[in-house]
């Protein structure tokens, strides 16, 4: 089946070359759509040089991913963050998983200097298995028909991946691939590991209690 990899981008020139170079484009049945939200760096030029299709959108990760999905030709959709690299064999694993499930995600490993990042990744993977909730770092993939059935990503400024997971869970549980996507630890290292963990748990708890995503996004920034 054909697959579309959709990547929302905003000023990601520092990491894009590594992400694009690692894409396992198997068999020529995959297109890469980079959705730019108004970058001022070389993100667009780098994507075009790598052969990706580039489209523009108003900024906002959910909005950008929906824009990419609307233009995608693939029967299968994979949403990839600019600082996350897929492992070898990823696309074959996704196609096999989506022959049985509506959607799924990868386990992750987090690159960085902090010695506890491996533990953070292990806890994220465990939490995701126990709850059936995936985050964007885990490279969520979904059948196009299922994505359209639940209305795509909710266009909210934060927790769009959590809400998408909740909607997709109504169709069935996720395929939890043990293949590990490699995501950057820059968020944890720049803000502080424990501070970031505490912040994200507070925001997720507030979202679970019905807080406005716009208010949560301001707190996150």
Residues 164-185: tens digit of each pLDDT? 999 999 999 999 999 999 999 8
27: pLDDT strictly greater than 60: no
Residue range 47-104, pLDDT digits in tens: 999 889 999 999 999 999 999 999 999 999 999 999 999 999 999 999 999 999 999 9
Evaluate whether 185 touches 112 at the Cβ level (below 8 Å).
yes
Q: Average model confidence (pLDDT) for the chain? A: 92
DSSP secondary structure, 26-52, as one string: -TT-EEEEEEES--SSSHHHHHHHTT-
Give the percent of the chain with pLDDT over 70.
98
pLDDT at 6: 98
- Count of beta carbons in the 10 Å neighbourhood of residue 128: 20
Q: What is the mean pLDDT of residues 122-149?
A: 97
CA separation, residue 34 to residues 78, 122, 134 (Å): 12, 29, 21
End-to-end C-alpha distance for the chain, whole angstroms: 39
**CATH 3.90.550.10 describes domain 3-186:** yes
Between strands 141-143 and 175-184, the pairing is unpaired
Q: Which of 36, 99, 29 is nearest to 68 (CA)?
A: 36
Q: Which of 99, 180, 137 is nearest to 7 (CA)?
A: 137
Rounded Cα distance, 74 and 94, in Å: 13
Domain ranges in the chain are 3-186
Helix (H) / strand (E) containing 96? helix 90-98
24: pLDDT strictly greater than 80: no
Sheet with 141-143, strands from edge to edge, namely 53-56, 30-36, 3-9, 76-79, 141-143, 103-111, 175-184, 84-85
pLDDT at 204: 85
- Count of beta carbons in the 10 Å neighbourhood of residue 221: 7
């Amino acid at each position: 089946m054909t697959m579309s990899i959709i990547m929302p981008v905003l000023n990601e020139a520092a990491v894009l070359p590594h992400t694009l170079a690692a894409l396992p484009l198997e068999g020529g049945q995959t297109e890469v759509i980079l959705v730019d939200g108004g970058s001022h760096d070389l993100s667009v030029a780098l994507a075009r040089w790598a052969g990706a299709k580039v489209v523009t959108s108003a900024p906002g990760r959910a909005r950008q991913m929906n824009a990419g999905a609307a233009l995608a030709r693939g029967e299968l959709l994979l949403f990839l963050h600019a600082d996350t690299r897929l492992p070898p064999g990823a696309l074959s694993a996704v196609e096999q998983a989506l022959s049985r499930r509506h959607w799924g995600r990868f386990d992750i490993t987090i690159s960085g200097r902090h010695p506890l990042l491996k533990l953070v990744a292990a806890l994220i993977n465990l939490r995701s298995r126990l709850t059936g909730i995936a985050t964007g770092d885990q490279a969520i993939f979904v059948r196009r028909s299922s994505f359209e059935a639940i209305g795509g990503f909710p266009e909210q400024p934060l927790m769009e991946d959590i809400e998408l997971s909740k909607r997709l869970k109504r169709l069935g549980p996720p395929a939890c691939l043990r293949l590990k996507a490699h995501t950057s630890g820059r968020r944890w290292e720049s803000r502080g590991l424990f501070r970031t963990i505490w912040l994200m748990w507070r925001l997720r708890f507030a979202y679970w209690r019905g807080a406005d995503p716009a208010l949560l996004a301001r707190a996150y920034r």
